[in-house]
Homo-oligomer: A and B are copies of this chain.
Amino acid sequence: MKQEETRLVTVAAESSRSGLPDSKRKRGHHVLSAAVFLAAVTGAAPTMAGSSDSSTAASQKDPATQESAKVSPGDPASSARQVRVERRTPSYWRVTFDNPPFNIFGPETIPQLNEVITAIENDPDLKVVVFDSAVPDFFLTHYDFIPPLSASTGLPSGTTGLHPLPDMLVRLSRAPIVSISLIRGRATGVGSELALASDMRFASREKAILSQWEVGAALVPGGGPMARLPRLVGRGRALEILLGANDIDGDLAEKYGYVNRSFPDDQLDGFVDAFAMRVATFDNQAIADTKRLVDFASLPSDPEIAAGWNAFITSVQRPQAQAKIKQLMQLGLQTDPEIEIRLGHYTETLGQD
């Protein structure tokens, strides 16, 4: 039951960039100036949270591993506030992701978001929360591939017994308030998964991009979309989104039911704000009691969510995924806006395994 040694994969980023034709790098961007370290544990990671046998997960943990899994205090980025809460009124909050340049979600984001979710669960006056972004072109995007995997797998389980990432998402879905994702820019990976865990989603027609890109990188998505998308949009469109792993714009997302509605970009904020203000006048007990019965009819079970998280953790350690992620990092994932903004395109350029 001990944590396996991590393997660091050195990516010589500069040399690999030459593989990209110039025509595909139209946007200006900073050059990757240092080697990027991509780390993953090899072999099994039996102590991670989110296993089906979540009841015993806590007791199986090696305290030392848990300690080392904490956000490294030496990293300035990890202590920066990536998730801001604005209490517009006691009953209406805005939660804003602000981790430029791409709103990448990493292990250090987890305790910050967990603090917000816990406040949402417990505030007696709160009725409605809107999630949005302060970063242009990005609502919230994929998981951070730079920290070692143990920084994620070593985090203590959440109150549901799940790994803290899916734990927060299922708690958001069940919170006795109305949660809304206001999607402008890219909602990929964790961004799409947070939106799907919200009660409803409204998107910019011109500026929203939703995607579950993971299969394009030989990964299985981990934050629940295999459970949530088929129940939301039906099996056919869910499989197209998940196995096609491509970028979905606001109009197609509305047509598919991936979002409730898309609006012209200049009307989106007004609509969401008016909707939130309206709901904020309603009775919180009626909201909670009504939502609880909808949840009974529509939410997946926690073990189903755990299975998805475990599949993600298994997939990220496979050589096929390591190779694809390495290729993407060499292309500019996490550094080059061109790659992040056109991620659906670039996953198709990686070639077959």
Contact = CB atoms under 8 A, between A and B. Distances in A.
A311 B289 contact: yes
Nearest to A318: B285
Interface string A297-333: 1111000100110010011001011001000000000
A351 B260 contact: no
A281 B243 contact: no
Nearest to A202: B240
B215 A287 contact: yes
Interface stretch (A76-84, A93-101, A113-121, A227-235): A227-235
Interface string A255-281: 111011100000000000001001111
Given A239-B200, A257-B237, A281 B351 contact: yes
Contact of A285 (B227, B278, B320): B320
A241 to B, nearest CB: 10
Find the residue from A229, A242, A318 having the highest chain B CB count within 10 A.
Answer: A242
Contacts of A229: 294
A172 interface: no
Given A297-B304, A311-B293, A320-B286, A236 B260 contact: yes
**A interface secondary structure, majority:** helix
B283 A243 contact: no
Interface string A215-235: 110111100001101111111
Contact of A279 (B244, B261, B280): B244
Interface of A: 91, 178, 198-201, 214-216, 218-221, 226-227, 229-240, 242-246, 254-257, 259-261, 275, 278-283, 285-287, 289-291, 293-294, 296-300, 304, 307-308, 311, 314-315, 318, 320-321, 324, 347-348, 350-353
Contact of A239 (B294, B307, B321): B294
Given A300-B297, A304-B297, A237 B200 contact: yes
A220 B297 contact: no
Contacts of A232: 234-236
B226 A297 contact: yes
